[in-house]
Structure 1
Amino acid sequence: MKSLKLYGKRDIRYEEATKPAIEKQDDVIVKVKAVGICGSDISRYMKLGPYEEGMIFGHEFSGVVEKVGRAVVQLKPGDRVTGCPALYCGKCESCKKSEYARCEKLTVIGSTYPGAFAEYVKLPAENFVKIPADVDFDAASMVEPSSVVIHGLYKTMMHPGAEVAIMGSGNIGLLAVQWANIFGAKKIYAIDIDNEKLAIAKALGASATINPKDGPVHEQLMTLTEGRGVDVAVEAAGSIVTSAQVFSLCKKGGSVVFLGIPYGDVNVERFYFEKIVRNELKVYGSWNAISAPFPGKEWETSLQFMASGQLKVDGLITHRLSLKEGPEIFEQIANKVPGIGKVIFYPEI
């Protein structure tokens, strides 16, 4: 079968791979219809390299059930599904408490287990969620990043009438803008250095936008909020700079949730750090997109709001490509070619 394998930093190859086979009684093989590039895929491609050289890459996907193990009763060939890529050990202290996102050996496909940049992918039956008829494969491939966002927002107890600041207007930030609206936020402030991304955030429901190039972010926000700050600040950029700045955006007693992953040391100036202490902020780290019962309410909720039309992802997709075009688009992203948002591969073409 056709696939994309990661061999090293900036070394991804379009190659033939062995089609997965049923080995365990709960195995399910899915024919991949759509699979997206995740921000973490870009970081591994550009900065970290693979967990295992030559592993089939990718983990955000949807498709059609091809074959199931003999113990699988909830799925059958022909079912339309999206797949949770996370694999937990089930034995550690966290897993015994059903805190799967905190599993000591948590991994995802595409790292040490073959991923979804391929014509077929295999996972346990419990990792699949059926897709409603009115959710297409493109949208369903983005249930995983949507679930990443809502997993973090659930921690904050965001409530109707809240004011929310979201740092970063990449795919995660743009999903966060929409989820904040769904949660009933009164005001949503999108923050990014790219005015084109800010325009998309505004179109998706941001009340106002802030570009750090126009002045210190906290000063601009305090002007917009008449000195109050926000109830919830979301770090969705994964930048070492914004990971410190985000503490200056909340009102006293507010919440900060980290969705982004800064690949570097975060140096927090005294001004920002004191906001945590003096404003008695609640700071949440958020990892992955899973909860109990596995894979978690994040997945069903994402599909529910995609089906209702309240969570829109089509406008985030800028490129729809074949796997053969993978090496080229990854290199374009690494070279910061403008105009590239969400990239979806169709392994069939």
Structure 2
Amino acid sequence: MEALNLYGAGDIRFEQSPKPTIMNDNEVIVRVETAGICGSDLSRYKKLGPYISGTTFGHECSGTIEEVGSNVSHLKEGMRVAVCPALPCGDCTQCRQGAFSRCPSLTVIGAVQPGAFAEYVKLPAENVLPLPNEIDADTAAFIEPAAVVAHGFYKTAIEPGADVAIIGCGSIGLLAIQWAKLFGARYVYAIDIDEQKLKVAKELGADQRVNPLDGPVHEQIHDLTAGEGVDVAIEAAGTPITSAQALALPKKGGEVVFLGIPYGDVTIERFYFEKIVRNELRVHGSWNGLSAPFPGKEWKTAIHSLQTGALQVNPLITHRLPLSDGPFVFKEMASGSPGYIKTLLYPGKTGQKERAINHLK
């Protein structure tokens, strides 16, 4: 089968790999229709995340059931499905408490176990969710990142009428803007240095665009909120600078949620750090998108919101490419080429190239 395999920093290869086979009666094999490139995939490409050399990577995907194990009765061949890529152990203290995202042994497909950048992927049956007819394959590839963002919002005490600031308008930030509204936000501030991404943010419901190039972010936010700050700040950029800046955005007693992971040391100046103490902030780390019963309410909510159209993902899609273009597109993204938000890859489509630049031209 076609696959994108990662061998080292900057070394991904489009090649033929063995098709997975059922080894456990509770497993299923999914024929991948659409796979999305996540920021963590790019990090692994840069050798900043865990993986085994030569492993097929990728974890955001949707597809169709190809084969089921003998103990699987709720899934049938030909069913359209979404994939939860997270693999908690199920036996540790955290898992027994339903806190699967905190499992010390948690891994995802595409790191140790072969992932979604292939024609087929194998998973436990509990990781596969049937899709309603209203959700197409491309939209279904966003269920996992949508669940990840919802997980962060569920950690907060957000109430209807809240003011929310979203730092970073990549795919996670653009989903966060929409989730903020669905969780009842009155006003959403979208923060990014890329004016084109801010334009997309506005289309998706952001009430105010804030560009750090126009001045310190905290000063702009405080001016826009009559000196108070926001109720909730969501850090979705995953950079050392924005990780510090997020702490200066909430009002006293407000909250900060960290969805992004900066792949570099974070030095927090006293000005920012003391905001935690003096303003009695509640700071949340948010990892993956799991809760009990597995995979969690985040997934049900994401599927429902995509099914009803409350969450819109088409504006996030900037590129649609065959899997064979993977080595090229990763090189482009790693070099910082502009114009990328969410890239979707299609296994088995070699030679069928469609580049869809929806918003960034």
Q: Tell me if both proteins adopt one fold, taking TM over 0.5 as the criterion.
A: yes
* Within-5 A mapping of 1:19-168: 19-48=19-48, 51-168=51-168
| Deviation for aligned residue 1:110 | 0.4
Aligned twin of 2:358? none
Tell me which amino acid in the other structure corresponds to 1:290. L
* Within-5 A mapping of 1:221-260: 221-260=221-260
CA contact under 8 A between 2:48 and 2:263: conserved in structure 1? Answer: no
> Would you say how many aligned residue pairs link Structure 1 and Structure 2?
349
Aligned twin of 1:310? 310
Distance 1:99 1:195 in 2: 38
Distance 2:159 2:73 in 1: 38
Tell me which amino acid in the other structure corresponds to 1:285. G
Aligned twin of 2:17? 17
Tell me which amino acid in the other structure corresponds to 1:105. S
Q: CA-to-partner distance for each residue in 1:53-83, whole Å, 9 max, x for gaps?
A: 0000100000000110011011000111000
| Deviation for aligned residue 1:131 | 0.9
Distance 1:330 1:31 in 2: 23
RMSD value, Cα: 0.8
SS at match of 1:104: coil
Tell me which amino acid in the other structure corresponds to 1:145. P
| Deviation for aligned residue 1:50 | 5.4
Tell me which amino acid in the other structure corresponds to 2:167. M
Distance 1:193 1:44 in 2: 25
| Deviation for aligned residue 1:166 | 0.5
* Within-5 A mapping of 1:195-344: 195-344=195-344
Structure 1: segments with no counterpart, 5+ residues: none
Distance 2:47 2:200 in 1: 28
| Deviation for aligned residue 1:291 | 0.8
Distance 1:53 1:236 in 2: 28
Tell me which amino acid in the other structure corresponds to 2:45. Y
Distance 1:13 1:317 in 2: 24
Displacement over 2 Å in runs of 4+: 47-50
Q: CA-to-partner distance for each residue in 1:178-198, whole Å, 9 max, x for gaps?
A: 000111100000000101101
SS at match of 2:46: helix
| TM-score, L = length of structure 1 | 0.99
SS at match of 2:328: helix
CA contact under 8 A between 1:32 and 1:63: conserved in structure 2? Answer: yes
CA contact under 8 A between 1:9 and 1:49: conserved in structure 2? Answer: no
CA 1:103/1:10 → structure 2, altered by over 3 Å: closer, same or farther? Answer: same
Distance 2:68 2:38 in 1: 27
Percent identity (aligned): 60
Distance 1:100 1:215 in 2: 40
Distance 1:118 1:293 in 2: 29
Distance 1:95 1:49 in 2: 23
Moved more, 50-59 or 61-70: 50-59
Tell me which amino acid in the other structure corresponds to 2:332. Q
CA contact under 8 A between 1:9 and 1:50: conserved in structure 2? Answer: no
| Deviation for aligned residue 1:348 | 2.3
Structure 2: segments with no counterpart, 5+ residues: 350-361
Tell me which amino acid in the other structure corresponds to 2:58. G
| TM-score, L = length of structure 2 | 0.96
| Deviation for aligned residue 1:268 | 0.7
SS at match of 1:284: strand
Tell me which amino acid in the other structure corresponds to 1:306. L
| Deviation for aligned residue 1:49 | 6.1
